[in-house]
Structure 1
Amino acid sequence: MRIVDVAEFYAPNGGGVRTYIDRKFIAAAEAGHELFVIAPGPKDGFEARPGGGVIWVRSPGLPFDSNYWMFVHAGPVHAHLDRLKPDLVEASSPWRGAWIVASWAGFAAKAMFWHADPVASYPQRWLAPHVDPDRIDQLFAGFWSHLRRLATYFDSSVAGSVWLGRRLRDLDMGPLATIPLGADCSAFSPALRDDALHAGLVSDLGLPPDGKVLLGVGRFHPQKRWPMIAAAVAAANRPEQPIGLLILGDGMDRARVARAARRYPNVQLMTPTRDRSYLAKLFASVDGLVHGSESETFGLVIAEALASGLPVVLPDRGACSELAPPSVREIYRSADVGSATAAILRLFARDPVALRAASLQAATEVRSDSQHYVELFDLYDRLIRDRHAESATAV
């Protein structure tokens, strides 16, 4: 089948969406499918990929994040869809790109993949912890009604986690398939642990040899709450248990994140990299991963950390906490520095031998992204067949 993904937030310096789609190119080619991505960019162009490629549509930049661009006119996207004649069109954001797909009149099945929860990402984050999240959903009832209307133009929505699927179902978002994402288990493994790398990281953070290294990975965006995480790790650093934090990422919030890191001698920013082999070794060589965003719809870095044999410290809201078994996780109250500090202290107060054994076991239980893509393409095949069956019946 030929799939076209109208991906509003696919960008050269993108985060989890880019990682997910890059892996999807490989999975589609291996399964014998064609995949094309239509994405907004600084100029028109084509970038070949296995089994297809990325079609860049010249678009204006996103005003508040220079790493991304935004669709404005439907015409160029519709022209590419008319030329490609896809079997299925996927919209991977609930914003302008999805409405462009919804308004395309071509014959194809349509699916909306929910890579984001706009209400959890913005108003719930802005007002946390002062206003109950359910109350915020009620206040944004008109916006959810708008998204329900958008969903009627698609044969199915797709949720990438059980948490998001439950949330979309509770919000009556129409036909829905829950297909949890997974990690690249062929790349991330506890076997990649490098004790020399760990010792170097400990030294770079100015910690004594018995120091523990926490890793934070993600875009530099207010949604990720890096200043809060930095403050929590700094507060958890004790003479009897030295703890430091490395933050790996980049983005619109870099200046604020850098200022926060400079306040604490045991917190450092790492040079951004897309070297997946180094990332896999880094994941396996630290002592744990800490995450700040409570609006994740899956949490790819959490899955990669678990596949690397790491315990994790996670907020109590969003999809992340459901990824990790209690044996390797500590949960804190979202957006609460003191609660996050306490969770970090609890993690390193555990018996280290038992925690390592639990982490190695958890690594064997991580869902692979290969399984996700198999189930996703099976769904898309069914949607295509249903669309053709409906057309035949109508004739």
Structure 2
Amino acid sequence: MKIVDVCAFYSPRGGGVKTYVSQKLSVAERLGQDITILAPADEDTVVEFGPHARIQTIASPRFPLDRKYWYFNAERTLHAALDRLAPDFVEASSPWRSPLLAATWRPDIPKALILHADPLSAYAYRWLEPLVSRETIDRRFARYWHHLRRLGRLYDAVVCASEDLASRMKAGGVANVVTVPMGVEPHRFSARKRDENLRARLLAQCDLGPDATLLVAAGRLAPEKRVPMLVEAVTIAGRQRPFGLAIFGEGRDKTNILRSIGGNPHVRLFHPERDREKFARILASADALLHGCEAETFCMTAAEARASGVPVIVPDRGGAADFAKADMGRSYRAADHDALMRAILTLPDRFAPHSGDRTVRVMDDHFSALFEIYKGMLQRSHVAAA
């Protein structure tokens, strides 16, 4: 099957979508698929990752609110690229304008929309829910819900990676919603990679000794990630016992995060660790993962932490909440720094080694399930055309 992913959210500088794309390119070939990631960029390029896997970019404008990203702005150019690639199946992975552009190309070709972002949670609910109810917000954003329902009619499947997002889409009247949970890289994340020397070095950089508790946060530095809330909660909790917070990431909210850290020597902001093996060791060496965003569609970092045997402290809404179940996580009321601080203080003084959560899915299983769904859609389209 020849698949083209119209991927407006891809950036070579990192982020969850880049991680997802990298794994998709690797797994698709092993599963016998031909895949092209079609992304906007500064110029037209093609980067081959194998005989049947590549990233092709189309010269496009930069996204004004985050210069790390671009956006598709010309339907004719996008359609011309799809004409040349001639896919059997088309994916789109943005909830904004690009899926409308992709949907109008060859209506006879089956298509799926993957919701890699949840703008209602990331923006509307985050900004307005302190003032009015979610039901009121949904009514005020009826135009956007109309847009989502239109996409549900245009696409053969609207793929969600968590039940939280899928249930909200269904409740909002979006058609063709299916849930296909994501997962972690196989054999990458493991409790066996815990390194007490690395842990001690990270705590030392937080001006703390090895008897302190090491907390790690990682990901894109954007306002919806609520990293200043993490900093505030750790700072307050640190008045009762020693906590160090190592934050790995980059993004447009960096200045605000550094301001929130202020002169606290126990909280450090590091560049993102792009070496996946080194990151796996960092994660396994933590005593807990902190996460502040209730707008995650899945939360890859929380899944990786669970696979690494590390407890997670996550909001009680969004995709991250799925990882606070059983004995490997704690959830707190989303956007409530006091509730987060209390959750942090429930951590034991000493880390209890854990073998890791073997129920965390691996990405091979995710893509295998996804491609099986696509295969069924393609077969049904052939029957309908016959």
TM-score category (smaller protein): over 0.9
**1:271 offset after TM fit, Å?**
2.0
**1:106 offset after TM fit, Å?**
5.9
1:386 to 366, 370, 380: 380
Q: Aligned in 2, Cα 1:128/1:14: closer, same or farther, shift over 3 Å?
A: farther
Match of 1:331 in 2: 331
Match of 1:7 in 2: 7
Counting matched residue pairs gives 385
Distance 1:45 1:293 in 2: 34
Q: Secondary structure at the match of 2:348?
A: helix
Distance 2:333 2:273 in 1: 31
Distance 1:179 1:129 in 2: 31
Match of 1:300 in 2: 300
- State yes or no: 1:111 paired with 2:119: no
**1:251 offset after TM fit, Å?**
1.0
Greater mean alpha carbon deviation, residues 43-52 or residues 67-76: 43-52
Distance 2:151 2:222 in 1: 27
Distance 2:128 2:14 in 1: 26
Q: List per-residue Cα deviations over 1:220-253 (Å, max 9, x = no partner).
A: 10010111110111111145x3101011011111
- State yes or no: 1:258 paired with 2:258: yes
Letter in structure 2 aligned against 1:283: L
Distance 1:106 1:339 in 2: 49
Match of 1:144 in 2: 145
Contact between 1:43 and 1:56, CA under 8 Å: does it hold in 2?
yes
Q: Percent identity?
A: 39
Q: Secondary structure at the match of 2:331?
A: strand
Distance 1:135 1:244 in 2: 40
Q: Which runs of 5+ in 2 are unaligned?
A: none
Distance 1:243 1:328 in 2: 19
Contact between 2:163 and 2:179, CA under 8 Å: does it hold in 1?
yes
Q: Aligned in 2, Cα 1:328/1:104: closer, same or farther, shift over 3 Å?
A: same
Aligned pairs for 1:68-147 (under 5 A) are 68-105=69-106, 107-147=108-148
**1:46 offset after TM fit, Å?**
0.8
Match of 2:195 in 1: 194
Distance 1:343 1:2 in 2: 47
1:366 to 360, 363, 371: 360
TM-score, length-scaled by structure 1 = 0.94
Distance 1:308 1:130 in 2: 38
Q: List per-residue Cα deviations over 1:18-51 (Å, max 9, x = no partner).
A: 1111101111000111000110101111111232
Letter in structure 1 aligned against 2:228: P
Distance 1:343 1:271 in 2: 26
Match of 1:375 in 2: 369
Distance 1:106 1:48 in 2: 28
**1:277 offset after TM fit, Å?**
0.7
Letter in structure 1 aligned against 2:370: L
